[in-house]
Structure 1
Amino acid sequence: MKAKYALIALLAISFFGCDDNTAGLGLGMFPGSDRDINGKLTTFYVKTESVHAGKIYAMSNIGYVGKFTDETFGTYEAGFLAELNCPKGMTFPNAFSGNTESGTGQMMTSFDNVEDGVGKTYTIIKDGTTPIGNCQINIYLWYDSYFGDSLTACRLSMYELDQTLGDQYWYEDPYAYYTNIDPTKYYDKTTSLLGSKSYTAVDLSISDSIRNLSTYTPYIKITLDQAKTQDLGLQLLKDGRSQDLYSKFKGIFPGLYVKSDYGDGTILYINAVQMDVAFLEHARDSITGGLLHTSTGKDSVVYNGRSFTSTREVVQANRLENDSIAIQECIDKSEWTYLKSPAGIFTQVTLPVSEIADKLQGDTLNAVKLGIPIYNQTSDKKFGMSVPRSVLLIRKKYKDTFFKDNKLSDGITSVLFDYSSYTSSFTEYTYNNITQLINDCLADGEREAAEKELLKGPITLKITDSKGQIVDKEVYDITEWEKYSDWNKVVLIPVLVTKDSSSNSSSQVISIQHDLKPSYARLKGGPKMTQEEINGELQYNQDGTPKMVLKNPLKLEVVSTNFGPRAK
């Protein structure tokens, strides 16, 4: 057995660099008198099943917030946690000190001599009883797009974190944030509310002419009240008048949590969070330092500010929740399998690796094609989710580290179906050549190691059961091990693909992340069932167990070459 697996893997190594058109590669190189070369197409059937996506790695530069209830998948709710970035070298100006003829500093500490209404929305910041400046703090959530109803009345709340996101679980990777992150560990709901805001995805209070401008970006604005402005403003001004604000900023403002607390029907895609600290300064004579005045004798005012934004240099983590009951009902269906994002359902494929090794012993694998047809979407949904257009096929054992380590598809442990290859709609996810993935299963030695271990006794595997729970499973032979291990399993995962901005037609993929936007597809396939479950005819194996068959089998097409005996 070991020799058989080693042989087919060894013969396949020379074809690791093959592309999608390798079926007849090299056949013309051999004289007919030297070899009898036999190329053949063999079809294998594969088992698929819907499985829980579970927690997924959700670091992203987009924050999702809102709630949406779907007829099939139930309620999906999203919120996010984000840190803000303080640029190195940022400082706040000193408070004005002096008189009308001369002085130092610029920031106003009093609005006694300004035009009516000028300082109305600004707070004088005091250190004890001493005024040290002023500010107004606004936090903006900018978004380019959304999912669902543009006019559903919604409300969100924003909370200040009481610790940075890297402070929890110091013994683990602090940046490995998943969709099941618990926000309550990072904020106190009773004391840290920054503000709440009602909104609709399309703000009809803004005129059409403004909303239709190419430069317009919709946003939600939270203005901190006077008490919050005093607390945060005092820390920013005291530490921000020296060069070390950058190193102290996370201790002053660890971050924020945004959650939906009213409304069902809209998910916003927040692409930037920005905290603006605005303040008023005296207009001063550049030579004397004295104050400048208006024609009415009031102090002239300069509007200024500092901005702190969410960037790729700081952490942003999404909290996503799906309806567990509705998701389980979809997973239990046997007529087809599902893809449901975000963090909902993946389709798992069991590859017939051992069958290929048994049937094609001594052959060289030239091409292995897997096509997974997509059923037409139903049109009974008011806001239908689109079909995932980029889907990664990846060996199950690597699916977590792939995203955590920000890897790209290599064609060996993972293969990418990318929508950009299709100018029109597509009806199946087609993986034209997964030869190298099959070879990777054959060559990694995991099965051979399991065979040796089983000679000593049963092996305990960690498996995910049909309810999405991690459980122990004891296996006693290699057939059981193949059934429950991840060795021959791959999963289909909806992904978001980012490419470089080069103008040529061969732009390169630079990032693959989990797709966190709502989408779904029903796929042909399904788990094994008894013949009775399919058509009422119960059949038995020789050992008396019910015969299991595939109701909607998928085909794995393998092109292989057998060189035959050497001619004499």
Structure 2
Amino acid sequence: MRRKIIAACMLAACMLAACIGMISCDDTTNTIGDSLIDNGDKLSITADTFSVASETMVAGRVIARSSTGYLGRMVDPETMTTVTGNLMSQFHVLSNYELPAKDSIMSRDANNEIIADSCDIRLYYSTYYGDSLSQMKMTAYELSKPVKEGESYYSDFDPEAQGYIRPAAQGGIAEKRSFTLTDYTEADSIRNRRNYNRNIIVRLNKQYKDKKGVTYNNYGTYLLRKYQQDPSAFRNPYRFLHEICPGFYFKVDGGSGSMAHIQLAQLNIYFKNKQNGKVSEISTNFVSTEEVLQLTNFSNDNTKLQQLANESGHTYLKTPAGLFTKLTLPMSDIMAGHTSDSINTAKVVLHRINNSSTSDYQFGIPHNVVMVPADSLQSFFANNRLPDNKTSFMATYNSKTNAYEFNNISGIVNLFSRNRTMPAWGKVVVVPVELQSVTQGTGSSKKTVITKVSNDMGLSSTKLLGNTSTGKNIQISIIYGKFNGR
């Protein structure tokens, strides 16, 4: 239903004051009060409400820039869709990296050559989805070459399909293991320590053959002897990746029910060392950092996602790389009779539908979402843009109203009104995002500034009201302003 109110000059001024009060915090508010002091002008304000059409779109591949890695497989209890996360990680070295002197390393083989007693990779995770006792299977593959730096990678980037895996027939590591996130293979005395960090461990203690055909008793021994041959290769990240250790790919082979948020991958070498006449077991390690790549390859049940997108009566927001909600703003109706008016505010509220399932392992509700013109969807993330409150806007889930509120998207409406030839004219897309921010200032001037917006790669899913034949579940409320000379 459309509502229209035409106000006289005095009443309009009162309404405008109220409007300014409502939207004064919005950076996108147009300059609508510049000439109020001019008594020669009369101001009229018009408020109108229109229905907005919505639909679900399959996200497809999205640019993945999350700082968190994911490893596991889960079924969404609400939609019964399956998502799998496989992790690729590289390791970084420092310019001052140094091993103990060769003579002090006491772990030796029958030929008195130095060896590693053992070697492992630990994938440290902060939190997880699902059941920590779910039985999972994975394979850790050695890469044959490092994944290239300085490129944009998408959520479906698969090192195996792209030829990055070193074949097992040529000596490449392909270490299989079963695991649960609560690792009962480690002693209670270790897991119960206050400083214990939960991890998934992959042991690399089998015989290893390098690319030159040289055989070692394990991967750690390979690294120790390579250091002895050329320590400088262990102090230069580029050389380490290209000459020593290109990285590993951790692929889920079986099981379902858990997915870990991998914060750090660490490659450890253990050996005996003699210092001050005392022999002790020590270790050295290499870790994944922001200086090297850590990528998650996600695979979804695309057939099921398309079925969800075809449903009516609601739309979906689903991550990772799952489903977005597309809105069609009724631009022709909005502009009809208002070609000379300014659009001061345009408000849209997206109401959430509560889950119907009662599983203990429900996916979370997307917390932050951005709205961008459909034509700008790819470029927004490809160019690392931030919501500018002009042509891109952010909303945060409000648990009290169970909705996402975009209080003023007039910038997008005005963009469409000026560019009627846009291929996706009037269409915007709502996308779940992950934020990175920094805190600036102190005391009363302290504020949080968003520094990065990327596609949300966590597990989340929700329904929104809309996608009906009447279109009345979503409305856009417009406030127009117009100055008329005497």
- Asked if these proteins are the same fold (TM beyond 0.5), I'd say yes
CA distance in 2: counterparts of 1:234 and 1:353, whole angstroms: 66
Aligned to 1:8: none
Distance change (3 Å), C-alpha of 1:354 and 1:19:
farther
Separation in structure 1 between the aligned mates of residue 204 and residue 324 of structure 2, nearest angstrom? 42
Q: Does 1:490 align with 2:428?
A: yes
CA gap of 1:60–1:133, structure 2 versus 1, over 3 A, is same
Cα distance, 1:267 vs structure 2: 1.0
**Does residue 193 of the first structure (1) align with residue 168 of the second (2)?**
no
- Mapped pair 1:249 → 2:225: no
Q: 1:37 aligns with which of 26, 39, 43?
A: 43
Q: Is the 8 A contact 1:138 1:276 kept in 2?
A: yes
Instruction: State yes or no: 1:508 paired with 2:444.
Output: no
> Partner of 1:163 in structure 2?
145
Q: Could you tell me how far apart the structure 2 residues matched to 1:133 and 1:80 are? A: 29
Q: What is the Cα-based RMSD across aligned positions, in Å? A: 3.0
On the 8 A contact 2:374/2:428 being kept in 1, the answer is yes
Residue matched to 2:129: 147
Change (3 A) 1:212 1:134: closer
Q: Structure 1 residue 78 and structure 2 residue 54: aligned?
A: no
1:379 aligns with 2:357: yes
Contact 2:28/2:389 (8 A) holds in 1: no
Provide the secondary structure at the position in 2 that maps to 1:562.
strand
Q: Does 1:441 align with 2:416?
A: yes
Q: Calculate the TM-score normalised by the size of structure 2.
A: 0.83
Is the aligned partner of 1:520 residue 2:455? Answer: no
Structure 1 counterpart of 2:477, from 528, 534, 557: 557
Higher-Rg member (1/2):
1
Moved more, 58-67 or 17-26: 17-26
SS at match of 2:52: strand
Matched, 1:417 2:395: yes
The equivalent position to 1:360 in structure 2, one of 309, 317, 338, is 338
Residue pairs, 1:453-468, within 5 angstroms:
none
Classify 1:18/1:487 alpha carbon distance in 2 versus 1 (closer, same or farther; 3 Å).
farther
Q: Say whether 1:180 aligns with 2:156.
A: yes
- Of the structure 1 ranges 54-63 and 129-138, higher mean CA displacement relative to structure 2 is found in 129-138
Mapped contact 1:338–1:521 kept (Cα < 8 A): yes
**What is the CA–CA distance in structure 2 between the aligned matches of 1:357 and 1:163, rounded to whole Å?**
56
How many pairs were matched up?
445
- State the partner residue of 1:473: none
User: Which of 86, 89, 97 is matched with 2:96 structurally?
Assistant: 89
Counterpart for residue 266 of structure 1? 258
What letter is aligned with 2:298? L
Asked if the contact 2:28–2:411 (Cα under 8 Å) also holds between the matched residues in 1, the reply is no
Q: 1:407 to 1:376 in 2, by over 3 A?
A: same
1:492-525 per-residue CA deviation (whole Å, 9 max, x = no partner) reads: 1111122225676632222222211111111111
Q: Secondary structure at the match of 1:369?
A: strand
User: Is there any run of 5+ residues in structure 1 with no aligned partner, and where?
Assistant: 1-14, 97-105, 111-123, 167-172, 285-291, 293-299, 451-481, 530-549
- Check whether the contact 1:368–1:433 (CA below 8 A) recurs between aligned residues: yes
1:292-307 correspondence runs (5 A): 292=277, 300-307=278-285
Offset of residue 408 of structure 1: 1.8
State the 1:243 CA deviation.
Answer: 2.7
Match of 2:213 in 1: none
CA offset at residue 384 of structure 1? 1.3
Aligned to 1:150, what secondary structure does the other structure show? coil
* Aligned-partner SS, 2:378: helix
Aligned mates of 2:360, 2:166 — CA distance in 1: 37
The answer on whether the counterparts of 2:204 and 2:218 sit within 8 Å (CA) in structure 1 is: no
1:234 aligns with 2:240: no
Q: Quote the residue 2:378 is aligned against.
A: 400
Query: Percent identity among equivalent residues?
Result: 27
Q: CA deviation at 1:155?
A: 2.1
Say if 1:73 and 1:327, in contact at 8 Å, map to a contact too: no
> Which whole-Å CA distance do the structure 2 matches of 1:404 and 1:306 have between them?
38
SS at match of 2:388: coil
